[in-house]
């Protein structure tokens, strides 16, 4: 069905009736925040933004729009980095009003939340119940949990607790035809048929719209220790990680990597940061250990482990936070990198992963290849080393016009992604595909796998109306190719 | 296409050419072990059993059979309990010759294995590399890893390490049309499109045939402690579990439940078992704690935690294994239950789960309802309490003919599954659906969810030739119903 102005008017009237006139936005000024993303890499357009207040209203809105042939782009906190929430026509369906905490059960160690709840609010609700919701990343103050689930978000605690996928027990999802799948189960074991929730986690709203979730909670650590370590090289960082993975076992909760360039720009640009170690080193790691066991002193345990690492020559120097404030200050050195890099000029970013064992080779080869391509360029590969996930960002050569540098994004993608692919890695580790990596996925994806993805899309959204054009392009007749 | 005798002869000849004549079995005596399952609840029939030796041979065999309109039932160690591996015509495709260890990487902490590898052999290979593959269950000496993946097997270490799904990083799968999807990635973070491996984990060979997998390994515990605890009731067991979940944090690796009846029949029937505690109690739990941390003495930690539990009145009595042999002897009390129950007569079995908080009510209500239904019946709900997963078995009234008792299977299913369903539980917790629970899934499954399952089946296996009739019945025109 091709929508017409008349059908649009009828549709919008019906939506205003159902959602209330304040929750159907059509004025350009009202729409603007919903069609532009943080980094301003993409600007979209939409007929309207809908703000349903309940699952039933989401279902009504989706059915009404898709029956009228209009596409629907779900949006959470608009903190995504891939353009997955940016509409190219159709309507934006914002989950921002669905922020209810439906239930929390300290015995089951589960929390049931609506998709629009802010991540920080989920964490706080868990904490008030004496528990931990471990999913955490920089945008936690504005990111909404539905977006984290729809993108299978990663973040800083994956070493111990896994990605968003690993924290979801159940989902409620509105399908393309407006039906509601109620999969809100709070079970640790459930093999009653296909595990349907897996379809919707990480599929960026292209197969269904997550409206609520049952999430796993964990014991809240009683003891947390943070160390900042100087190392000779990325290879030494890998040796240290492998040592600590066994030495600290499941009490190792974070292992983040910083090259000297990253530490340098943080100290230069981020107010209040101070040099954590006396000398300069070839690489740095931020390490966190935590336990809920009352008989486990994490500072003592981490100190003893790092003492052994020093004695074995695995590390060159280390400092351990002596208080919560010092731990926060050490984390600030890691978490300040994106802000510092923005102040340092334009950057071209790659969110990639490789098998752990290939991390040092990847960092070395990708760094050398990019520097050879453009004199003065400053590679800044940092991040979730313990997960094999590096944010391989490139800071522009000093003095170069930002636009000239950013025009080379595609060329550096090719260099970096070729190396990642050669190591059996992923060109989209934790941020997803969205618009920004759709063509890269076509290039590097296994052809059989891409065909399976299209089959899934066609099975669940045959009219291609749920977040169209994200992750994979529309299926076309004949051989697989972009339309 | 309707297969005929002639096309069968041509097909078998082609298969003998490709796989070798010894690996295409058609004689009834040769076929028998492949069409009957352990408990003899189901006997199937097949035109042939195929034993391909490589992924390429699996792909050839699947393509040849499905093109000829013949169904293909994949089979691992034939240790399943649901009839999922039992053919109803077509061919059996046994993975028994695909037993290669393709790779093991101690830095990545991954192992790449073929689907036919025996679970115990995977565990042993990990151990030789100084690591742990935690998936473990009673049939580990004959179960094959592909079967464990295809059924999302659970077992005794789920509290700390999760189900089979949580241990899979990558898969290689042969699809219904004989294409091979190579998803053998060894990445901890990968959001490059839909997570296709999730489709094949737990779908019992109905969407594709797993031929190889990349699995997660963990540090091998240096210290393991096992305790056997006497409690007043199932409610006290839940209180103890919630206490230990925080008190031991991630070092709690198993929490298994035994009612007094289960302990009694084990002591009566299983040679070498001895009463672990002085008095009699209303319920029992077997608890394991383990850590790789060299500075963590698990016996001391568990003793101290259970001492606190005793002081708080959470437990009535406890014993802790003082050696590996004593730990094994305590585990034997739990692992001997199925054997003891077989010796005690016929039993009707239910593999179910409920949210943790509902475990005591479930055990009480289901036990009372079943006993009210048949005087002399002895409920035996035991198992993976920490996962909310109970094997709610019913031992026959003494003296009743076994066949008369087993004829009531359906009636007790209805009683137990109604209670499970009312608590938001699963009628198929860790063993899967197969044939035995297909109609139960139709009865209790969410209609939208069942429709999504059929859509997936139709998308990946439109001719319904991969393990047909398992999990969900063939889609029929019109409203959803059994054909």
In this prediction the ipTM stands at: 0.96
Give the pLDDT of residue A162: 97
Rounded to whole angstroms, what are the CA distances from A322 to A234, A274, A293, A327, A348? 26, 15, 19, 7, 36
- Among A291, A357, A427, select the one facing B105 at the smallest CB separation: A357
Quick check: A455 and B459 CB within 8 A? yes
- The sign of the torsion formed by the CA atoms of B214, B219, B220, B226 equals negative
Asked if residue B204 and residue B185 are part of one domain, the reply reads yes
Asked if residue A192 and residue A286 are part of one domain, the reply reads no
Measured between beta carbons, which residues in chain B are less than 8 angstroms from residue A296?
Answer: 249, 296
Asked if residue A251 and residue A148 are part of one domain, the reply reads no
Give the pLDDT of residue B42: 86
Asked if residue A135 and residue A34 are part of one domain, the reply reads no
Asked whether residue A398 is domain-assigned, the answer is: no
Please, is B27 exposed, middle or buried when counting C-beta atoms within 10 Å of its C-beta (0-12, 13-18, 19+)?
Answer: exposed
A246: left (phi over 0), alpha (psi -120 to 50) or beta: alpha
Give the pLDDT of residue A37: 85
Residue B124 CB partners (closer than 8 Å, separation 6+): none
Quick check: A165 and B427 CB within 8 A? no
Residue B285: which CATH number? 3.30.70.2190
CA distance linking residue A460 with residue B171, whole number of Å: 23
Asked if residue A118 and residue A87 are part of one domain, the reply reads no
Give the pLDDT of residue B226: 98
Quick check: B293 and A304 CB within 8 A? no
| Residue A428 contacts B where some CB pair is shorter than 8 Å | yes
Quick check: B455 and A460 CB within 8 A? yes
Number of other CB atoms surrounding residue A53 within 10 Å:
17
Asked whether residue A373 is domain-assigned, the answer is: no
Asked if residue A190 and residue A115 are part of one domain, the reply reads yes
Asked if residue A153 and residue A61 are part of one domain, the reply reads no
Quick check: B192 and A458 CB within 8 A? no
- The range of the structural domain enclosing residue B108 comes to 101-219
Number of other CB atoms surrounding residue B275 within 10 Å:
11
- Among B107, B292, B429, select the one facing A191 at the smallest CB separation: B429
Asked whether residue A377 is domain-assigned, the answer is: no
Searching chain B, which residue's CA lies closest to the CA of residue A167? B166
Searching chain A, which residue's CA lies closest to the CA of residue B425? A187
CA distance linking residue B424 with residue B262, whole number of Å: 26
Quick check: A186 and B355 CB within 8 A? yes
CA distance linking residue A322 with residue A405, whole number of Å: 42
Give the pLDDT of residue A5: 67
> Which long-range contacts does B266-269 make (Cβ < 8 Å, 24+ apart)?
B266/B332, B266/B333, B266/B336, B266/B337, B266/B340, B267/B333, B268/B340, B268/B344, B269/B336, B269/B339, B269/B340, B269/B343, B269/B344
- Among B151, B355, B471, select the one facing A187 at the smallest CB separation: B355
One digit per residue, pLDDT tens: chain B, 483 residues? Answer: 455 667 899 999 999 999 999 999 999 999 999 999 877 788 899 999 999 999 999 999 999 999 999 999 999 999 999 999 999 999 999 999 999 999 999 999 999 999 999 999 999 999 999 999 999 999 999 999 999 999 999 999 999 999 999 999 999 999 999 999 999 999 999 999 999 999 999 999 999 999 999 999 999 999 999 999 999 999 999 999 999 999 999 999 999 999 999 999 999 999 999 999 999 999 999 999 999 999 889 999 999 999 999 999 999 999 999 999 999 999 999 999 999 999 999 999 999 999 999 999 999 999 999 999 999 999 999 999 999 999 999 999 999 999 999 999 999 999 999 999 999 999 999 999 999 999 999 999 999 999 999 999 999 999 999 999 999 976 544 333 332
Asked whether residue B157 is domain-assigned, the answer is: yes
Picking from A463, A483, A431, the residue whose alpha carbon sits closest to that of residue A204 is A431
CA distance linking residue B298 with residue B87, whole number of Å: 47
Give the pLDDT of residue B3: 52
Quick check: A293 and B304 CB within 8 A? no
Give the pLDDT of residue A4: 64
Q: Which of residues 261-300 of B touch A (CB under 8 A)?
A: 291-296
Among A112, A130, A194, which would you mutate to test the B interface (most chain B Cβ atoms within 10 Å of its Cβ)? A194
Buried b (16+ CB within 10 A) or exposed e, B156-193: bbbbbbbbbbbbbbbbbbbbbbbbbbbbbbbbbbbbbb
Asked whether residue B361 is domain-assigned, the answer is: no
Asked whether residue A80 is domain-assigned, the answer is: yes
Asked if residue B59 and residue B23 are part of one domain, the reply reads yes
Give the pLDDT of residue A482: 31
The packing angle between helices B234-247 and B298-311, to 10°, is 130
Asked if residue B148 and residue B110 are part of one domain, the reply reads yes
Asked whether residue B473 is domain-assigned, the answer is: no
Residue A80: which CATH number? 3.30.43.10
The runs of H, that is alpha helices, within A355-428 are 359-373, 402-406, 409-422
Cβ atoms of residues A48 and A89 within 8 Å: no
In this structure, the strands spanning B110-114 and B209-216 are antiparallel
Total tally of structural domains belonging to chain A: 3
* DSSP secondary structure, A277-307, as one string: SSS--SEEEEEEEEE--TT--HHHHHHHHHH
Among A103, A185, A188, which would you mutate to test the B interface (most chain B Cβ atoms within 10 Å of its Cβ)? A188
Question: Among residues B40, B72, B94, which one ends one of the domains?
Answer: B94
Q: What angle do CA B143, B147, B151 make, to 5 degrees?
A: 120
- The sign of the torsion formed by the CA atoms of A443, A446, A447, A450 equals negative
CA distance linking residue A373 with residue A118, whole number of Å: 41
Give the pLDDT of residue A60: 98
Question: Among residues A32, A62, A94, which one ends one of the domains?
Answer: A94
Distance from CA of A249 to the nearest CA of B (A): 6
In this structure, the strands spanning B223-231 and B317-320 are antiparallel
Residue B352 CB partners (closer than 8 Å, separation 6+): B362, B389, B390, B392, B416, B417, B420, B425, B426, B427, B428, B429
Asked whether residue A473 is domain-assigned, the answer is: no
User: Which regions of chain A are under pLDDT 50?
Assistant: 1, 476-483
Among A59, A171, A193, A428, which would you mutate to test the B interface (most chain B Cβ atoms within 10 Å of its Cβ)? A193
Q: In the numeric block, which tokens belong to residue B7?
A: 């096309």
Asked if residue B196 and residue B143 are part of one domain, the reply reads yes
| Residue A355 contacts B where some CB pair is shorter than 8 Å | yes
Asked if residue A246 and residue A227 are part of one domain, the reply reads yes
Asked if residue B69 and residue B110 are part of one domain, the reply reads no
Distance from CA of A268 to the nearest CA of B (A): 31
Number of other CB atoms surrounding residue B111 within 10 Å:
27
Quick check: A429 and B357 CB within 8 A? no
Picking from B452, B182, B148, the residue whose alpha carbon sits closest to that of residue A452 is B182
Residue A214: which CATH number? 3.30.465.10
The neighbouring-strand residues paired with B123 are: none
Residue B311 CB partners (closer than 8 Å, separation 6+): none
Measured between beta carbons, which residues in chain A are less than 8 angstroms from residue B441?
Answer: 192-193
């Amino acid at each position: 069905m091709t929508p017409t102005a008349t059908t649009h008017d009828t549709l919008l009237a019906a939506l205003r009736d159902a959602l209330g006139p304040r929750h159907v936005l059509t004025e350009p000024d009202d729409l603007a925040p919903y069609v532009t993303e943080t980094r301003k890499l993409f600007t979209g357009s939409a007929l309207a933004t809908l703000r349903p207040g309940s699952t039933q209203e989401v279902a009504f809105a989706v059915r009404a729009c898709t029956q009228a042939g209009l596409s629907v782009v779900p949006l959470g906190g608009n903190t995504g980095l891939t353009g997955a929430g940016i509409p190219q026509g159709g309507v934006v369906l914002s989950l921002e009003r669905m922020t209810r905490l439906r239930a929390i059960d300290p015995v089951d160690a589960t929390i049931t939340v609506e998709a629009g709840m802010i991540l920080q609010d989920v964490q706080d609700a868990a904490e008030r119940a004496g528990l931990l919701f471990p999913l955490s990343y920089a945008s936690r103050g504005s990111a909404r949990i539905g977006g984290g689930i729809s993108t299978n978000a990663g973040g800083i605690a994956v070493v111990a607790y896994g990605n968003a996928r690993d924290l979801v027990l159940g989902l409620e999802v509105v399908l393309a035809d407006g039906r509601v799948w109620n999969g809100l189960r709070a079970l640790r074991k459930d093999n009653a048929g296909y595990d349907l929730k897996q379809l919707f986690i990480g599929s960026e709203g292209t197969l269904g719209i997550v409206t609520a979730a049952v999430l796993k909670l964990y014991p809240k650590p009683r003891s947390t220790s943070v160390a900042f370590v100087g190392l000779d090289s990325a290879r030494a960082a890998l040796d240290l990680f492998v040592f600590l993975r066994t030495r600290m076992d499941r009490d190792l909760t974070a292992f983040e990597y910083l090259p000297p360039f990253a530490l340098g720009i943080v100290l230069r640009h981020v107010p209040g940061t101070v040099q954590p170690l006396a000398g300069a080193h070839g690489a740095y790691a931020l390490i966190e250990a935590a336990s809920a066991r009352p008989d486990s002193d994490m500072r003592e345990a981490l100190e003893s482990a790092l003492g052994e690492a020093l004695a074995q020559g695995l590390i060159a120097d280390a400092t351990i936070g002596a208080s919560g404030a010092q731990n926060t200050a050490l984390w600030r050195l890691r978490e300040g990198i994106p802000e510092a890099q923005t102040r340092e000029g334009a950057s071209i970013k790659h969110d990639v992963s490789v098998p752990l064992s290939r991390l040092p080779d990847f960092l070395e080869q990708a760094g050398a290849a990019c520097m050879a391509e453009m004199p003065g360029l400053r590679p800044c590969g940092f991040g979730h080393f313990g997960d094999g996930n590096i944010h391989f960002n490139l800071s522009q050569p000093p003095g170069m016009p930002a636009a000239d540098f950013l025009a080379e994004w595609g060329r550096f993608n090719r260099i970096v992604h070729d190396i990642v692919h050669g190591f059996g890695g992923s060109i989209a580790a934790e941020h997803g595909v969205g618009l920004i990596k759709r063509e890269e996925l076509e290039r590097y994806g296994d052809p059989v796998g891409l065909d399976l993805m299209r089959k899934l899309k066609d099975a669940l959204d045959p009219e291609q109306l749920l977040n169209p054009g994200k992750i994979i392009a529309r299926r076309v007749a004949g051989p697989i190719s972009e339309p």
